[in-house]
Amino acid sequence: MILTVTLNPALDHTLRLDEPLVEGAVARTDRVQFDPGGKGINVSKYLASLDAPTVATGFLGDPFGRLVRDRLREAGIESDFATIDEPTRLNTTVLAPDGEYKINHHGPRVDSAAVDRVLDAVRRHEPETVVVAGSLPPGLAPDAIDRIARAGDWETAVDVGGDVLRDLDAPFSLCKPNREELAAATDAPVETLEECLAAAEALRQGGFDRVVASLGPDGAALVTDDGTFHAPALETTVVDTVGAGDALLAGVLAALARGESGGAALRFGVAVASRVVAVPGTGVPDFGGVRAAVEEVSVATY
């Protein structure tokens, strides 16, 4: 089972507008949705839809935290969150004809002692893999992630900022940076695909068994001690990029949990991500045709 830890969850608020935003003008829309969000929660949502057993945990505070819990329960996703006094953050995405606008809250303040309550939840579920993903809330430092990684015999994967990746000390089975996070974590150039692959290999040698890198229009890469794999992005109509990296990670982890090879896991992750960018917000698309999409993904081995 794959358990996800979201230390700074969010209620994702997505609006779609028919007209561009204009300063001083009131924009109106009826196309609004609220989704439980935060990187770890997104990973659990996608895993559950891919029939991979998962539990979501982390910190939640009302009133938005209550809605996150309710939406997860309605979706049939098991959760076991620690309750905090301050409210869970609200993240807003505006999809307008002239672009995509995002406003994210920093999140509630959490003290390091509260991490013990999350660890209690992790231990209750005895996962094979723990995924710690997303930003750190005010009050927590990277050593909170190291504590989670060292607290049990599970494998730990991380999807955090490049500056946080640089400060982690515990052993990790996998990390999933994007292009900018690769640069921040390694101080290496990432302009070309070759530079990205070299930076991912340098990051792997720094203490991660595998590195899954999402590279935007250049697709994605998986670097392991068995080789380096690259897959170009599938052609699709991109509606919203929110959750694309989380979907890539969920697909890769689900495939690895089934015992698939690195190249096969990357192909599955790219196929899953291609479905997610075609829907607004962090809602879960229909993954019924994802197996067929896997056949369209080409993987080069380096």
The answer to whether 231 and 255 are in contact (CB under 8 A) is no
Residue with tokens 């689900």: 254
Tokens of 79: 């959760």
- Helix H, strand E, coil C: the string for the chain is CEEEEECCCEEEEEEECCCCCCCCCCCCCCCEEEEEECHHHHHHHHHHHCCCCEEEEEEECCCHHHHHHHHHHHCCCEECCEECCCCCEEEEEEEECCEEEEECCCCCCCCHHHHHHHHHHHHHHCCCEEEEECCCCCCCCCHHHHHHHHCCCCEEEEECCHHHHHHCCCCEEEECCEHHHHHHHHCCCCCCHHHHHHHHHHHHHCCEEEEEEECHHHCEEEEECCEEEEECCCCCCCCCCCCHHHHHHHHHHHHHHCCCCHHHHHHHHHHHHHHHCCCCCCCCCCCCCHHHHHCCCCCEEC
41 closest CA partner among 2, 9, 63:
9
Q: Determine which one of 12, 146, 240, 246 is catalytic.
A: 246
- The partner residues of 15 in beta bridges, in order of sequence, read 32, 94
Based on the residue annotation, tell me whether 246 is a catalytic residue of this protein: yes
Q: Which residues are catalytic?
A: 246
